[in-house]
Amino acid sequence: MREISLHILDVATNSIEAGASLIEIQVEEDTGSDLLWFTVKDNGKGMDKEFVKEVTNPFFTSRKSRKVGLGLSLLQAVCERCEGKLIIKSRLGTGTTVEATFRHSHIDRPPLGNIADTILGLILANPAVDFCYVHVYNGRKFHIDTREIKKVLRGVPIDSPDVAIWLRDYLRNGLKDISGGVKE
Amino acid sequence: MKTIQELEEIRKKTLEKISIRKDRKGTRVVVGMATCGIAAGARPVLLAFLEEVNKRGLKDVIVSQTGCIGVCEYEPIVEVYRPGEEKVTYVKMTPEKVARVVAEHLVNGKVVTEYTIGSYGK
């Protein structure tokens, strides 16, 4: 995985597999305290204690098509390589929260990458799931919540062509605004 | 800057334009988005499908994501389901290949055989 935004897509995809109807994603970049932090919180089926303990073990997976599960193990390795850590909290029947931290300036930290496309892809490919995305860059905040958007749309599907283009531009422009157009 | 007001306009326009996608029984495009797919480049493939389908106004096509399809070495993998036809599995997809699959398969009903799993490596 070359971008942190791809890890976020991977974790959020787990939430979809867990049957979540609401996925809250938050990314915070603070160059002052030299921290990059993200969380993915869902209201999916959750995991029991034993499952949580095993979930970063690469030789443990819930899928049937392979005997390895690399998603969270890779993410944990990246966090630890960058003086951060991965924390997974889950309750059966309630949901799961995955929290990852990195030292922002660490030489091994992958770029955040194209987070706008991660969020756009999730929203458009899963129109029945709600997403709340908050991005804070040095105190400046961008947020998008599909529950608010669906309220405005009143029955018009969120994946209709013109809405999709609006979402794309809203995300791209909004994220550019808070970061001052700085690209990694 | 994009605003919520614009969204309200879009809503009105969309409502006037169509009897929006009431028929959801059309073609399904499913992109494999487990760790293996994402690492191999599934995100730009998914985005390319969404853009192409939108650009051409294909109202009966649904683009969605799924987990691991099981042959990770061929990722990014895309499955196309059309009513009354057998499932078609495209492998090692790229955004460039997407344009052709949309034009030839989704629009004209002709499978792009050279991108399918059956032709791979031949």
As to burial, measured by CB atoms within 10 angstroms (0-12 exposed, 13-18 middle, 19+ buried), residue A63 is middle
Chain A residues within 8 A of B14 when measuring between CB atoms: 156, 160, 162-163
Distances in Å between the Cα of B23 and the Cα atoms of A25, B17, B54 are: 32, 15, 16
Residue A156 vs residues A19, A127, B9, B23: alpha-carbon distances, Å: 23, 11, 12, 14
The one-letter code for the residue type at B101 is: V
Contact state of B50 with A118 under an 8 Å Cβ cutoff:
no
Angle between helices B4-17 and A161-179 (to 10 degrees): 170
DSSP-derived pairing of the beta strands A22-30 and B61-66: unpaired
Instruction: Provide the residue-wise pLDDT of chain B in tens; the chain has 122 residues.
Output: 678 889 988 998 888 766 544 545 689 999 999 989 999 999 999 999 999 998 898 888 989 998 888 888 999 999 999 998 999 999 999 999 999 999 999 999 999 999 999 988 65
Nearest chain B residue to A148 by CA: give it: B4
**Cβ of B50 and A153 within 8 Å?**
no
Mutate which: B35, B63, B79, vs A, most A CBs within 10 A: B35
What are the strands, taking DSSP E only, across A43-117?
A: 86-91, 95-103
ipTM confidence score = 0.83
